[in-house]
Amino acid sequence: MQVRQISVFMENRAGRLMEITGILAQAGINLRALSLADTSDFGILRIIVDKPDKAVDILRRSGFTIRENVVIAAVIEDRPGGLYEILKVLADAGISIEYMYGFLGKHEHEAVMIIRVEEMECAIEVLLEANVTLLKGEQIYTM
Amino acid sequence: MKPQDIQSLDDLQHLPLTDKETLRTNYPFGMFAVPMKQVKEIHASSGTTGKPTVVAYTEHDIRVWSEVMARSIYAVGGRDDDIIQNAYGYGLFTGGLGVHYGSLDLGATVVPISSGGSKRQLQLMQDFQTTILTCTPSYAVYLAEIAESEGIDPRKSSLRIGIHGAEPWSEEMRRQIEEKWDIKAYDIYGLSEIIGPGVAVECVGQDGLHIWADHFLPEVLDPKTGKPVPEGQDGMLVITTLTKEATPFLRYATKDIVSMTTGKCPHCGRTMPRISRIKGRTDDMLIIRGINVFPSQIESVLLSMEETEPHYQLVVTREGALDSLEVQVEVNEKFFSDEIRALEALTKRIKEEIESVLSISVNVKLVEPKTLARSEGKAKRVIDLRNI
């Protein structure tokens, strides 16, 4: 139920994100989801890709500082309140979210939320109990 | 080699050089040449690997220090009726007390205000009608800017002389200080290993600094060959203390690059040799806001922190009148977190650790690995963007 996410440390300067996506494009790696967190000096690019091993390899060889992490991919209904419902499940269990980002799913009326919490096992358990659909890694990579 | 082998000044060059490292390896009291009972005062400056360099003074040494500093103030026109606002820091740093002793010896009035507190500096300057300001040159510029922003015209102040040192400065900066304050500004040179401030000072001619060679014997050597350079050519200043008792030094390598001129000064008639302004360093020491900073100090902080690697670069800039030091640290996979707050907490910790060692504030910036220029197998650690 856990999805591999790659985080890349990048300096805040013009064209840097373009360079990273260029490296991935050359290696034939397709992005499934992306988020960018930034401060005035640096940013952290978080990506989920179709070929995680290959992406890790190529980014490392290109000299980037990267980190692999696991995240939860939860399917929510694409309607007002869809996100609220799963956040309520996590909040009721006393789980706080470190970061999250979302994208629209392949199916109509569906969106996918990528969620990172400290207590991953616990979060997966309460979400499954609440009948939330969690995607497996392979499901996202091949989406 | 025996003491009797030294028969003339030329024999001096057979002796090896000493340097800061000599003091460091003998920390704390290994270089003291008198029993502790005779040591009246101890000073220390921040060291290159966490250990400070320690120097000591006997009662006689303090008298010598007072005298050379009094001479220095006199040489720039200070007299016993002057009121000296001493804005050098008091404490282990030799700047504050050196000027203080010299002022007392000259018979002038000293205001031991120490560094910082700009509004109070300006207030007391007006209320006490101080006539001489002693501080780093960058602080003199900064204080004038503060005065202007407070609606005080620095040109109308009671000051007539500025005595500035402890950091490198230029003719342009002198003109700026003289123009802003309507005073004469003079360069003073010193280093704690030799005595503190008062080793050399300009005379009214503002054309080189007279080194008090009756106490501090100067040599200017080619840093590569160790041989004396011809008069007027650049080389490393090496000083032998002739009268120092507690921590005397034979051929102390200052690492400062100067040129030297002998003969009678055409401006004041003094016969003490003149050294040029400091033109550079033979090592990588930086002087930031009057404080000596070695890249190795920052390296040792980074090495002591588990998360970081000692891949760093120092960028020095001057914003307005004040120096600013940015420490760029490479992020590696050992400590890269994908959470902003973890990286920000790390940045803060690096900053605090470095500041506690250097005693000056720094900015820490995380950068991508290998973005720091590596040149000729040796990383270029310092980028100095100051125009001085």
Q: What secondary structure does DSSP assign to B224-248, as a single string?
A: TT-PBPPTTS-EEEEEEESS--SS-
Of A5, A42, A66, the CB nearest to B333: A66
Of B336, B344, B370, the CB nearest to A9: B336
> b/e string for B253-271 if b means 16 or more Cβ within 10 A?
bbbbbbbbeeeebeeeeee
Q: What is the pLDDT of residue B378?
A: 47
Count of pairs with CB atoms under 8 A, one residue in A, one in B: 48
Are the beta carbons of A39 and A27 closer than 8 angstroms? no
CB pair distance less than 8 Å for A63 and B367: no
Q: Which pLDDT band holds residue B276 (cuts at 50, 70, 90)? A: very high
> Mind listing the pLDDT tens digit for each residue in B14-39?
999 999 889 989 999 999 999 999 99
Please state the ipTM of this predicted complex. Answer: 0.81
Average pLDDT over residues B214-229: 95
Entry field: residues in chain A:
143
Closest chain B residue to the Cα of A118, Cα to Cα: B339
What count of other Cβ atoms lies within 10 Å of the Cβ of residue B187?
Answer: 23
Q: What is the pLDDT of residue B260?
A: 97
> Mind listing the pLDDT tens digit for each residue in A9-27?
998 888 999 999 999 999 9
φ, ψ for residue B265 (rounded to 5)?
Answer: -70, 125
Average pLDDT over residues B213-224: 95
Q: Strand runs (DSSP E) across A65-128, as ranges?
A: 66-77, 97-104, 110-117
The continuous run of DSSP H or E covering B71 comes out as helix B59-75
Mean pLDDT of the residues in chain A:
92
Q: Which pLDDT band holds residue B296 (cuts at 50, 70, 90)? A: confident
Are the beta carbons of B212 and B198 closer than 8 angstroms? yes
Show residues of chain A in contact with B346, CB under 8 Å. none
Chain B positions touching chain A (beta carbons under 8 Å)? 331-333, 336-340, 343-344, 365-371
A10 touches chain B (CB under 8 A): yes
Show residues of chain A in contact with B333, CB under 8 Å. 65-67
Mutate to test the interface with B, among A3, A6, A42, A71 (most CBs of B within 10 A): A42
Would you call B334 exposed, middle or buried from its count of C-beta atoms within 10 A (0-12, 13-18, 19+)? exposed
Q: Which pLDDT band holds residue B375 (cuts at 50, 70, 90)? A: very low
The 3-state DSSP class for residue B298 equals: helix
A44 touches chain B (CB under 8 A): yes
CA distance B271 to B262: 7
Would you call B322 exposed, middle or buried from its count of C-beta atoms within 10 A (0-12, 13-18, 19+)? middle
Q: What is the pLDDT of residue B310?
A: 63
The 3-state DSSP class for residue B85 equals: strand
* % of chain A beyond a pLDDT of 70: 100
* In the predicted structure, residue B377 carries a pLDDT above the cut 60: no
Are the beta carbons of B66 and B110 closer than 8 angstroms? no
